[in-house]
Amino acid sequence: MVGGLAGKVAIVTGGARGIGRACALRLSREGVKIALADILDCGDTAEAIVTAGGEALPLRTDVAQGRSTQAMAEATVARYGRIDILLNIAGIVGAQLARKPFWEIDEAEWDRIMAVNVRGPFLCVKAVFPYMRRQGKGKIVNFASNSFFSGKPPNFLHYATSKGGVVAFTRALAREVGPFGICVNSVAPGLTYTTPPPPEYNETADPTVRSRCLRRTQYPADVVGTILFLASPASDFITGQMIAVNGGSDLY
């Protein structure tokens, strides 16, 4: 158990699957009430939480739309009375995003990535801030990426740029909301398998794995411990920071 989390209320964007789902399930085991916000149906994650004895509120949310994030915050407060934690995990990544040379990325695709990966966290913070300010306390965790440091993998310029935006957003926002008792940090995961690797996958030969100090595949469970720490009172004097959770990698 992690001290100080029981009874808190968290919004987890991107909670329908992948890292968001893993974080939501784990936070719930600490006694946190979870609002799951995703453009996809979060019913399955909510059911898993409730079956395990937790509380969950699935909310169909488009983080790129202000009216939708506003409704997300209002519905969470209507159900649970407060918002203590915001995990900005929703993002366009992996198979949702074609890798291509930058000269083939058109304006519409560039704007789509920025709308979800950068404007999304901004709109979610705007929606929850009034409640956190009133409480005089709050925890916000944004999701950057290892590709911010490395510029890898190649042909992922839009994605890497969006995650650089998340890092800058975290640092600048921490200065503005610190006086209200709100901490803002980010995590930068390395390449993470959110579904089982394909049969032909060879962990020993995988270049990302070989680039790590800790030579194995990364899974969502490897990220959740850092999230628990950044959401809990154990990190109350840490803000504006980024923690790389990548097994000591120098590649994406």
Tokens found for residue 37 = 């916000």
What distance lies between CA 69 and its chain's CA centroid? 15
Residue 185 β-bridge partners: 141
According to DSSP, the β-strands at 33-38 and 56-60 are: parallel
Per-residue contact string for residues 89-118; x = within reach of ligand NAD by CB under 6 A? xxxxxx-x-------------------x--
Which among 49-57, 177-185, 186-194, 205-213 is the span making contact with ligand NAD, rule CB under 6 A? 186-194
Three-state DSSP state, 189: strand
Three-state DSSP state, 36: strand
Tell whether residue 121 is a contact of ligand NAD (CB under 6 A).
no
Tell whether residue 62 is a contact of ligand NAD (CB under 6 A).
yes
Tell whether residue 72 is a contact of ligand NAD (CB under 6 A).
no
Tell whether residue 45 is a contact of ligand NAD (CB under 6 A).
no
Straight-line distance from the first to the last Cα atom of the chain, in angstroms, rounded to the nearest whole number: 31
Tell whether residue 59 is a contact of ligand NAD (CB under 6 A).
no
Site for ligand NAD in 198-237 (CB under 6 A): none
Angle made by CA atoms 170, 230, 232, in degrees to the nearest 5: 135
Tell whether residue 70 is a contact of ligand NAD (CB under 6 A).
no
C-alpha span between 77 and 6 (Å, rounded): 17
Q: Which of 5, 10, 12, 16 binds ligand NAD (CB under 6 A)?
A: 16
Q: Can you give the binding site for ligand NAD, defined by CB under 6 A? A: 13-14, 16-20, 38-40, 61-64, 89-94, 96, 116, 143, 145-146, 189, 191-192, 194
Residues marked as catalytic: 159
